[in-house]
Amino acid sequence: MAIRERFSGNEAVALAIKQINPDVMPAFPITPSTEIPQYVANYIANGKMDTEFIPVESEHSSMSATVGASAAGARALTATSSCGMALMWEELYVAASNRLPLALALVNRALSGPININCDHSDSMGARDTGWLQIYAESNQEAYDNMIQAFRISEHKDVMLPIMICQDGFITSHAVMNIELLEDNVVKDFVGEYEPEHYLLDSAQPIAIGPYAVSNYYMETKMGQRTAMKNAKQVILDVAKEFEAISGRHYGFFEEYQLEDAEYAVLIIGSAAGTCKDAIDQLRAQGKKVGLLKLRVFRPFPAEEIAAAVAHVKALAIMDRSDSFSGNGGPLGAEVSQALYNAHSDVKTVNYIYGLGGRDIRVEDFEDIYSRLERIAETGEVTDQFDYIGLRK
C-alpha cells in the first residue's frame, strides 16, 4: 500500500536514501551542503539505518571518499549543492572514468558569483561533460522516485557510471508537497543487493583501480565511457518500466504535456515545468495549441527522441536555467539545436535563459513566450534568439 505524506524535497530524498540503506555516505556537513545529509545522519543516529556516515572536511574529500568506498566495493553516495559540487570537480571525472557506480544527490543552486544561494542549473550543467548520468525532477515526488531508481541504472553491468539525481534548490528541496511513498520492503526488493564483479577488498582477486593510462590507452578508455553512456539509455527505460510496476508512476527520457498536437512548444528541465503546465492549461482553454517537453534525462542526452517528439511543432522555445556565456545561448539550447539540425528538422527555435539565481518565472512569462513563438511562426523571423526572461530592461 502506498503511503501518503507531506514532505520537503530534502526530506523525500533523505527518506529514499534511508530506504536504499547504502553502505557508505561521506558528506560535508555544513553549507553549501543541504539538509539531505543532516536527515540521513539523524536516521543513522536514531538507528533507523546502518549506513557508515563519514563527515569530511570538504566536498573535494566527500567525493574522494565516495570514490574510495565505491572502489572498495561499497554502495556509496554523497550529497551536495552549488559551490560544493564545484569543489568536487576533479573527482567527478575520476568517478566516471574509473567506472564507479556511485550516486550524488544534488540540489541545484547558483554558483558564485555574485554570491547567491538560490536555484539555477549552473552547477550540474557545468558538470555536463564529466561523464555522469544526470536525471532531473519537476517535483519532490519525482526527486524521490529518481533516487530510488538511481543505483539500478548506475550499477547495471552495461553502464557502471556515476549518477547525479538533481532537484531544484528551495523549490523542490525546501518546499513541502504531497507525496506518495513506497514501503521500505518494496524499495529494498526493487534496489536489491549490490554485488560488484571486481572490487578492492576482494582478497581472492587483487586488483588496481585508477591506473595511469598513457596516450596509447586514453582514447580507448574514453570510448568505453561513451559506450556505457549510450547503453544507459535502454537501462533507464527498463528500470523506469520496473519502477512503474511497483509505483504506478510512469517515467521516460522526458514527459510530453499537450505536445501531441501542439504548434508551439516549450522544452524545459525541472520545477518550472509545473508553472509552464499552468500556462498551457489556460492557453488551451482559449483554443491555443501549446505544449511542453519536460526533459528528465539530460545525460545520456536523448537527441533523436527529442527531435522526433517536437518534429511537428512550428516553433520551439528551449529554456535554459544556466548561461554558457558563449554568446550563443545555454547548454540545453546548444544540444537541442544540434539534435534538431542532425534530424534535418525545420522547427524554428529560440533559446531563452530564465530563473538565474532563483529569479521567479511566472505563468504570465510562459504565456508571453508562447505568444512570441506564435509571432515567430507567423513572420518567420527570429529577433530575440537568446533572450533573458524576466530581466529588467
Between 43 and 194, name the residue whose CB sits nearer to another protein. Answer: 194
Between 97 and 141, name the residue whose CB sits nearer to another protein. Answer: 97
Number of amino acids touching another protein (CB under 8 A) = 24
Between 9 and 68, name the residue whose CB sits nearer to another protein. Answer: 68
Q: Minimum distance between the CB of residue 194 and another protein, rounded to whole angstroms? A: 16
Phi, psi at 226, each rounded to 5°? -60, -40
Site for another protein in 190-229 (CB under 8 A): 198, 205-213, 216-217, 219-221, 223-224, 227-228
Between 129 and 378, name the residue whose CB sits nearer to another protein. Answer: 129
Contact 103/163 with Cβ under 8 angstroms?
yes
Between 76 and 268, name the residue whose CB sits nearer to another protein. Answer: 76
**Residue whose cell numbers read 574510495:** 68
Between 163 and 319, name the residue whose CB sits nearer to another protein. Answer: 163
**Residue whose cell numbers read 501518503:** 4
- 58: contact with another protein by CB under 8 A: no
Q: Minimum distance between the CB of residue 210 and another protein, rounded to whole angstroms? A: 7
Q: Minimum distance between the CB of residue 214 and another protein, rounded to whole angstroms? A: 8
Residue 31 CA: distances (Å) to CA of 55, 82, 85, 244: 13, 10, 12, 35
Site for another protein in 149-188 (CB under 8 A): 160
Q: Minimum distance between the CB of residue 228 and another protein, rounded to whole angstroms? A: 7
Contact 283/309 with Cβ under 8 angstroms?
no
Element (H, E) at 133: strand 133-136
β-pairing, 77-81 vs 52-55, is unpaired
Q: Which residues contact 327 (CB under 8 A, 6 or more apart)?
A: none
Between 194 and 254, name the residue whose CB sits nearer to another protein. Answer: 194
Select from 66, 78, 81, 97 the one that contacts another protein (CB under 8 A). 97
Using a CB cutoff of 8 Å and minimum separation of 24, what contacts does 273-278 make? 273/138, 274/138, 274/139, 275/361, 275/362, 275/363, 275/366, 276/366, 278/363, 278/366
* Rounded CA separation 128/131 (Å): 7
Between 30 and 223, name the residue whose CB sits nearer to another protein. Answer: 223
Fill in the DSSP letter of residue 266: E
Q: Minimum distance between the CB of residue 217 and another protein, rounded to whole angstroms? A: 6
* Rounded CA separation 147/142 (Å): 8
Per CB under 8 A, which region of 52-60, 93-101, 246-254, 369-377 contacts another protein? Answer: 93-101
Site for another protein in 100-159 (CB under 8 A): 100
Interface residues with another protein (CB under 8 A)? 97-100, 160, 198, 205-213, 216-217, 219-221, 223-224, 227-228
